[in-house]
Amino acid sequence: MYAKCGLPDDVRAVFDGIVLKSPVSWTSMIYVYVRSVRKDDAAEVFRVAPVWSLYSWTALISVLLQSGKDINAMELYVEMNLERVEIVDPLVLSMLLSLCQYGTLGSCQAGS
């Protein structure tokens, strides 16, 4: 409800009150920050989350791409592979391909 109303601070207050947070709650908090254009907060929640889902990885890669941090997005993709996250989501793949289309040449070389 708070997220739909554009109240990320209220969502965070509810999130902080949850004793046993599930991967869904962590990912939801990341998406709230992404939608609120609070990229640093989204990255901070991702980094402190005890477990990541494909969707939380996707959200953070999206944040990095939107921020013009192509190299960081590619590095996160590499880390995602090292964590053995199965990349079956076409959204993730299309975002990474956008690195080569719109990103710097260095990003494309890192991804090859």
CATH of the domain at 68: 1.25.40
> Span 76-91, mean pLDDT?
78
What's the pLDDT tens digit per position in 16-44? 999 999 988 998 898 888 888 888 898 89
Report yes or no on 63 lying in a domain.
yes
Which of 57, 112, 44 is CA-nearest to residue 83? 57
Looking at residue 14, its pLDDT comes to 92
Regarding pTM above 0.75, the answer is: no
Instruction: Print the domain residue range for 98.
Output: 8-111
Report yes or no on 3 lying in a domain.
no
Better-predicted residue by pLDDT, 45 or 89: 45
Dist. CA 112–CA 105, nearest whole Å: 11
Dist. CA 47–CA 52, nearest whole Å: 9
Report yes or no on 21 lying in a domain.
yes
User: Could you give the dihedral angle defined by the CA atoms of residues 38, 44, 47 and 49, in that order, rounded to the nearest 10 degrees?
Assistant: -90
Looking at residue 45, its pLDDT comes to 92
Dist. CA 106–CA 103, nearest whole Å: 8
Total domain count, the chain: 1
Report yes or no on 2 lying in a domain.
no
Q: What percent of the chain has a predicted confidence (pLDDT) above 70? A: 78
